[in-house]
């Protein structure tokens, strides 16, 4: 079985500040990990994913995430927040044997001017 | 060209009515999904089809019936709508089932049952 926990349903940062959204997963086999972003009134779109290889993954819009097996984590970061980053962010985990990914409950990122 | 398109975007209807939501993908993907997102943004898988065959049918009431006439289409029909069916419904597709392939989502259909 696989599961995802996103710590903090809301994260608030100032424009220009570091963004850190936390994701921890549970999986009995090597996981595939995803971050999706959902802007208001839109569907989810992929920010980045980890499958194999390099553990630091770069995505769109300046976001990156690092797979840390020892910590079972896949935290999402961005050095400098922009107002346009305000959205809902979802972490998801899948494995080679699972039919569908398991999504976390989402973290709402609020960016203050 | 929208990769995954679903219609309508908004649907307001009375309890007891029957309604359908249509979904089409032009990505050539084998797998399509229906998700339900509740008011707290929680995403729940409802159905998954792979090459027109039903693969996953989560604990969804029988009033919900998916239909896949071909690989590019996955429609959702809902009978006898209830207040609790109010949510945003997302269609999605992926190149193959599960694993390391990401899903592409439609813009959602906001269903309001009054």
Per the listing, tokens 């960016």 go with A111
Burial of B1 (0-12, 13-18, 19+ CB in 10 A): exposed
What pLDDT score was predicted for residue B55? 86
Of chain B, the percentage scoring pLDDT greater than 70 comes to 98
What pLDDT score was predicted for residue B15? 97
How many CA atoms lie less than 13 Å away from A97 in the CB half-sphere? Answer: 6
Nearest beta carbon to residue B106 from set A32, A43, A96: A43
* Average pLDDT of the segment spanning B25-30: 95
pLDDT string in tens for chain A (113-residue length):
789 999 999 999 999 999 999 999 998 888 999 999 999 989 999 999 999 899 999 999 999 999 999 999 999 999 999 999 999 999 999 987 777 888 999 999 999 99
Distance of CA A50 to the CA centre of its chain: 11
Q: Quick check: B60 contacting A, CB < 8 Å?
A: no
- Distance between CA atoms of residues A69 and A12, nearest Å: 27
The first and second tokens of residue B38, run together, are: 């509740």
Query: Cβ A106–B41 below 8 Å, yes or no?
Result: yes
Answer yes or no: are the C-beta atoms of B97 and B85 closer than 8 Å: no
DSSP state of B101: P
What pLDDT score was predicted for residue B1? 65
């Amino acid at each position: 079985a696989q599961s995802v926990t996103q710590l903090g349903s809301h994260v608030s940062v100032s424009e220009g500040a570091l963004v850190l959204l936390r994701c921890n997963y549970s999986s009995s086999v090597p996981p595939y990990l995803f971050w999706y972003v959902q802007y208001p009134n839109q569907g989810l779109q992929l920010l980045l994913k980890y499958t194999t290889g390099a553990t630091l993954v770069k995505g769109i819009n300046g976001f990156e995430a690092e797979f840390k097996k020892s910590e079972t984590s896949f935290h999402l970061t961005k050095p400098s927040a922009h107002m346009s980053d305000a959205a809902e962010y979802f972490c998801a985990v899948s494995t080679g044997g699972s039919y569908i990914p398991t999504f976390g409950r989402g973290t709402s990122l609020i960016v203050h001017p | 060209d929208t990769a995954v398109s679903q219609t309508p975007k908004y649907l307001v209807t009375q309890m007891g009515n029957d309604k359908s939501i249509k979904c089409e993908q032009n990505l050539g993907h084998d797998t399509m999904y229906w998700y339900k997102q509740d008011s707290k943004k929680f995403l729940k898988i409802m159905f998954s089809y792979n090459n027109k065959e039903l693969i996953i049918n989560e604990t969804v009431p029988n009033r919900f019936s998916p239909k896949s006439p071909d690989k590019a289409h996955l429609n959702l029909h809902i009978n006898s709508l209830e207040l609790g069916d109010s949510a945003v419904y997302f269609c999605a597709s992926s190149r193959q089932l599960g694993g390391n392939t990401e899903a592409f989502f439609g813009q959602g259909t906001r269903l309001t049952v009054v």
